[in-house]
A and B are shown apart, each in its own frame.
Chain A
Amino acid sequence: KAGVTQTPRYLIKTRGQQVTLSCSPISGHRSVSWYQQTPGQGLQFLFEYFSETQRNKGNFPGRFSGRQFSNSRSEMNVSTLELGDSALYLCASSLGTDRAVDTQYFGPGTRLTVL
């Protein structure tokens, strides 16, 4: 089975711009979760999508948004970029069930640099 894929792998943007990141989950997985990783804050949960619906959201401003398509692929958008948005953005896919054994698998990440 192919793993989780993320595009693009690297992005350089300037303050005020917006950016869209893409994530394709493992085949058969319906849940996609997004995380932001910075040296100072570690891994922070952004949101989770399941069956095209946002099920849970972390404590991030409204500039961070996402969506999921019917094929379970997900996109994350950040508008009005700030310097502090520079980070590694990770998506993780899972079956999305209630079962304790349901495990998240991470993609390679998108490294965003805001200048």
Chain B
Amino acid sequence: QKEVEQNSGPLSVPEGAIASLNCTYSDRGSQSFFWYRQYSGKSPELIMSIYSNGDKEDGRFTAQLNKASQYVSLLIRDSQPSDSATYLCAVKRMNTGFQKLVFGTGTRLLVSP
């Protein structure tokens, strides 16, 4: 079982729709969860971070965390063609202080005009 799993997609949604991206993780000791957006040929860019169960909203983005189910999701409202990218879920387990992010393989999102 992979530590962080994402559906590779592509997830296709029309412009203006809600895109729902999902991620599951296996390590119950995980404490921090991040969503990065990566355009083709570019480096990952932080979109959202979440640490507590529940929802966290930032503009058109909402991250949802359910630690009991070991599940984290990202909702993108009013999707735009510029949102077309690969979305990487990353999980961090705090252990002796060092920083190690474990990434999923990413979900490719395509937003059609």
Q: Is the CB of B43 within 8 A of A42?
A: no
Interface mask (A85-115 → B, CB under 8 Å = 1, otherwise 0):
0001010101011101111111111000000
Inter-subunit contact A101/B97 (CB<8 Å): no
Whether A107 lies near B98 (C-beta < 8 A) is no
Residues of B within 8 A of A96 (CB): 97, 99
Contact (Cβ within 8 A) B102 A103: no
From B44, B46, B51, B103, A100 is in contact (CB under 8 Å) with: B51
A103-B34 contact given A48-B98, A56-B100, CB 8 Å threshold: yes
Option from A33, A43, A92, A98 in Cβ contact (under 8 Å) with B97? A98
The DSSP consensus for interface residues of chain A is strand
Cα distance A109–B43 in the bound complex, in angstroms = 6
Partner of B88, one of A33, A43, A88, A108: A43
Answer yes or no: B80 CB below 8 A from chain A CBs.
no
Please state if A108 and B42 are interface contacts (CB–CB under 8 Å). yes
Any B CB within 8 A of the CB of A45: yes
Interface presence of A24 (CB below 8 A):
no
- A101 and B32 contacting across the interface, CB-CB below 8 Å: yes
Contact B98 A100, beta carbon cutoff 8 Å: no
With A42-B105, A100-B32, A100-B92 known to touch, is A94 a contact of B99 (CB < 8 Å)?
yes
Q: List 13 A-B contacts (CB under 8 A).
A: A31-B99, A33-B99, A35-B103, A42-B106, A50-B98, A55-B97, A56-B100, A88-B43, A100-B32, A103-B34, A105-B46, A106-B36, A106-B43
Q: Which residues of B contact A (CB under 8 A)?
A: 31-32, 34, 36, 42-46, 49, 51, 88, 92, 94, 96-106
Excluding A31-B99, A94-B99, A98-B94, 6 further A-B contacts by CB distance (< 8 Å) are: A33-B101, A43-B44, A50-B97, A50-B98, A56-B98, A102-B99
